[in-house]
Amino acid sequence: MEGGGAAGAGGRDQASSPAQRRESRRLPDFLQSVNLKYVKLGYHYLITHLLTLLLIPLMVVILLEAAQTDPNDLRQLWLHLQYNLVSVLVCSAFLVFGTTVYIMTGPRPVYLVDYACYRPPPNLRVPFPRFMKHSQLCGEFNESALEFQRRILERSGLGQETYLPSALHYLPPRPSMASAREEAEEVMFGALDALFRNTGVKPKDIGILVVNCSLFNPTPSLSAMIVNRYKFRGNIKSFNLGGMGCSAGVISIDLARDLLQIHRSTYAVVVSTENITQNWYFGNRKSMLIPNCLFRVGAAAMLLSNRSADRWRAKYKLVHVVRTHRGADDRAFRCVYQEQDDAGKVGVSLSKDLMAIAGEALKINITTLGPLVLPISEQLLFFATLVAKKLFNGKVKPYIPDFKLAFEHFCIHAGGRAVIDELEKNLQLRPDHVEASRMTLHRFGNTSSSSIWYELAYTEAKGRMRKGHRVWQIAFGSGFKCNSAVWQALCNVKPSPDGPWEDCIHRYPVEIVDGFPPQPPHEQ
């Protein structure tokens, strides 16, 4: 989906005017910035801790009164309780019963024990020159289509080490059903092998399996392929989600969470991937060529648990999932659309309205998510601005809540450079907040629904995840959907063995530049 966003990326670095250069040489107005900064921080602290601040005087008064109480009064109170022992026992029984019922019927916590991302072998890498050479030699694209793909690659934010499936490395390409199955098995089994190896969980212990892949849905299903490979037990609850786009990973997590509320003491495995082999577009319609330039091989497998014993070894706890679906709107429904072009060739078409539609979906999603995660101070500021805007006929500038107060880490789906740029701008994030997304796009490309897990792995590989930190995963997908998942770290999280960044994290972050980067020695 988000490949369309990257089409608008690049070409932004214009020569600055003399006035801008003069402005850049000036020191900032520290008096204004510092005052405003601390006024806001103070307001945030006051409102967030208002209840505590009110309770402190009350506790002081209670302690003073208790200190002045006569010992005879305390003795009389004790005797009174002894004579009313039955009432005390009944009240205690009701309290214990109510607490037990609440614990038994309340939502069960869901833990992310661990996850694994597939790292393809080096022979599947596709540097820009190789990509363009294959596109030219396959004979399917005219000169205009080739030039368009070259320009998209230059502005995409992708690096030289992204991967395409083996079938597309042949000349001519071999997009057969057998090759597509081979790609699916390689990425899914690769991620699952690492997951089971790192967690020590046996496949027979898995009670729930959810697999999502939008564009490749064979018979038997992908979930059945996994059951067959790992010999899962016969009563496993398995689900296969198709056609739900890049946000399907969060949908799968939500489905697994709901199932874990019903089935006690259970492990759930979620597999998120996309299949490229049979979905490569061999035509010349430009709106359908963008996915060729951005989508790359990838997969992630997650192990979820509702067992209390897993609380102590799990990496994260699932806090919230918020899903937004704009499918009732025709424009949103058709903005990412699989269809045939005039020559009868199938591909996924990306609308020019894609970014605007994504913005509308994001607005709805964060409006729902905000009250769940933002501190009271931000909610009051947002509400006050909204009321003022209504009273003054829209002359008041809208207030954008500061989500940096709610989250330490952001995993924005690496769908395209423009998507990351726009979210950084509109959510007022710093460059370090979107570093994981930019570097994932550079190293692995758009791996669809699994990209948010490569981003989380990047944050862990950098050693930045600390106990109590909150993570916001946000993804967009066809339909049109915007989905969010919020996690909280249960420990100082270290990267798992054989992680996707293990061989290259020392080289990141890198500077993202437009154009074809120089080839490494082994590619020349």
Q: Catalytic residue at 433? A: no
pLDDT in tens, 321-344: 999 999 999 999 999 999 999 999
Q: Band the pLDDT of 460: cuts 50, 70, 90.
A: very high
Is the Cβ–Cβ distance between 319 and 497 less than 8 Å? no
Mean pLDDT of 367-388: 82
Which residue type occupies 104?
M
Q: Catalytic residue at 263? A: no
- Residue 450 CA to residue 457 CA, distance in Å, equals 11
Choosing from 279, 293, 325, 433, the catalytic residue is 325
pLDDT of residue 514: 66
Mean pLDDT of 2-14: 41
- Residue 86 CA to residue 81 CA, distance in Å, equals 9
In this model, does residue 52 exceed pLDDT 70? no
- Residue 360 CA to residue 356 CA, distance in Å, equals 6
pLDDT of residue 50: 63
pLDDT of residue 522: 43
Choosing from 44, 413, 433, 469, the catalytic residue is 413
Higher-pLDDT residue of 177, 6: 177
Choosing from 335, 446, 469, 482, the catalytic residue is 446
pLDDT of residue 44: 60
Mean pLDDT of 426-450: 95
- Residue 184 CA to residue 211 CA, distance in Å, equals 11
- Residue 38 CA to residue 443 CA, distance in Å, equals 39
**Helix (H), strand (E) counts: the chain:** 18, 11
502 burial (CB, 10 Å; 0-12 / 13-18 / 19+) is middle
- Residue 251 CA to residue 243 CA, distance in Å, equals 12
pLDDT of residue 53: 63
pLDDT in tens, 482-512: 999 999 999 999 999 999 999 999 999 998 8
pLDDT of residue 102: 56
pLDDT in tens, 162-188: 999 999 999 999 999 999 999 999 999
Q: Catalytic residue at 506? A: no
Choosing from 213, 246, 335, 482, the catalytic residue is 246
Give the DSSP letter string of 123-135. GGB--HHHHHHHH
**Residue written as token pair 């009240």:** 91
Q: Band the pLDDT of 281: cuts 50, 70, 90.
A: very high
pLDDT in tens, 139-152: 899 999 999 999 99
- Residue 121 CA to residue 264 CA, distance in Å, equals 39
Give the DSSP letter string of 50-92. HHHHHHHHHHHHHHHHHHTS-HHHHHHHHHHHHHTHHHHHHHH
Q: Catalytic residue at 409? A: yes
pLDDT of residue 30: 35
Q: Band the pLDDT of 227: cuts 50, 70, 90.
A: very high
Q: Band the pLDDT of 386: cuts 50, 70, 90.
A: confident
Q: Catalytic residue at 522? A: no
pLDDT of residue 9: 40
- Residue 414 CA to residue 157 CA, distance in Å, equals 10
pLDDT of residue 463: 95
What is the percentage of the chain residues whose pLDDT exceeds 90?
Answer: 65
The verdict on pTM exceeding 0.75 is: yes
- Residue 483 CA to residue 366 CA, distance in Å, equals 10
Choosing from 409, 411, 469, 483, the catalytic residue is 409
Mean pLDDT of 452-465: 97
pLDDT of residue 400: 74
pLDDT of residue 46: 56
Nearest of 314, 354, 336, 270 to residue 7 by alpha carbon: 354
Q: Tokens standing for 379?
A: 């909610």
In this model, does residue 276 exceed pLDDT 80? yes
Q: Catalytic residue at 413? A: yes
Say how many residues make up the chain.
524
Q: Tokens standing for 341?
A: 């072009």
